[in-house]
Amino acid sequence: MRLLGLDPGLGTTGWGVIEFDRGRLAYVACGIVVTDSDRPLARRLVQLADGLEAVLAAHRPDEAAVEETFVNRNAVSTLKLGQARGIALLVPARAGLPVAEYLPNLVKKTVVGTGHAAKEQVQMMIGVLLPGARSVSADAADALAVAICHAHHRGASAMAARVARGERA
């Protein structure tokens, strides 16, 4: 199964694609989508959507996972991050993919073993868990971490979604 992880941000959104087969992880690709800070917000959101659509077309994932947002002290920054996160949820959903969401602490705990790990620890563990991804940017490493988290928790996530829809677990 091919999984896409997304670490949303308005300026830079990290993405990572892994293969997950019978408990084994394999690195496929990763990168970032960067928006032009000189453009109006609406144009930046279009840039983000276009970049994510290109990732989907190039790597054809089966499922996607997006990191949930922490609330910042700066309300304007939080709002902009939320809008970028909305694009990160929308693009794979419009492509027909199931999309899961994970809290940052769960992502870090899954990959590093502690929910308060530093970005450098996440990057180091990504290199250990996915040897092909040894020197990737912090945003791409975070996205790969989201994909790994989804690989480990996707069954529970799917069950919670069924329960939320009122279906039998």
- Whether residue 21 lies in the annotated active site: no
Structure tokens at 1: 């199964």
Give the Cα separation of 4 and 66 in Å (integer): 9
Q: Which of 28, 90, 82 is CA-nearest to residue 59? A: 28
Give CA angle at 168 (163, 169), nearest 5°.
65
Residue among 19, 21, 36, 67 flagged as catalytic? 67
- Whether residue 142 lies in the annotated active site: no
- Whether residue 62 lies in the annotated active site: no
Question: What DSSP designation does 27 have?
Answer: E
Backbone phi and psi for residue 33, each to the nearest 5 degrees, phi listed first:
-110, 120
Residue among 21, 120, 139, 142 flagged as catalytic? 139
CB atoms within 10 A of CB 76: 8
What positions carry a catalytic annotation?
A: 7, 67, 139
